[in-house]
Structure 1
């Protein structure tokens, strides 16, 4: 492991303001149909943890705290599978799908993971959940590439 400082590479979001606005609208549309803002924030925080996006992790931890989510639920999100009843079955299904879509370790989303989510979300909600996962992965990929610092306005 090297000791290197990750410095901000470029100001992507200023020159790409139209892309930023489109991405913001995409994210808002995805979240709107999911209904549960805490669930949405847990999903985007988990994807951001997997993608190692410090900017997004910082933002979504702050959002969860402001929403009154217990610090323990935020702290243990990275180990949600081992955290027992700290997360509902619905949240656990959403988090499993988040990991499968974000990592695509097998090159696809396994049927068991998809079916688990489909058992907890109707088709419209499931479509919005998938859209939320796709949207945060897009934000993460840009912010990780440009090394967007936490707490710095886009």
Structure 2
């Protein structure tokens, strides 16, 4: 991590492969919380390149719990979170509206990290049960036109980062 941090502090960009590798190593528990916090802090202080985003995406796809729901041709609605504007869960509301209009929705969400309430907080309060089982998700889409993809169930790699993000606010 020291090499990566030094590179970033010197205002250099990471290659796609470096970005992929660092996220895989973060997910595997290679780095301690201080190192991860330093890495996240650097990214809050600079812009991210397309190549870096591609590397992070590659790592997340490599590490995710994939479920094939292609037959539903659902749209994926996911909020941005952390806008700092104390808005309500717009993407959650939009998901209900879109599903109610007859368009299948796969709603990604998570607990609030940088705000008091994320979409998973809202959905859990409403009694929604989270599952990553394909049959459960298909049944939800068949019956309600929407299924909930609770991020920690599909991106277990992020468990190393979530508590640190929460502490950083």
TM-score grouping bracket, smaller chain normalisation = 0.3 to 0.5
Structure richer in strand, relative to its length: 2
- Normalising by structure 1, we get a TM-score of 0.33
Higher RCO, Cα 8 Å, sep 6+:
1
User: Normalized against structure 2, the TM-score is what?
Assistant: 0.32
**More helix by proportion, 1 or 2?**
1
Greater Rg by CA: 2
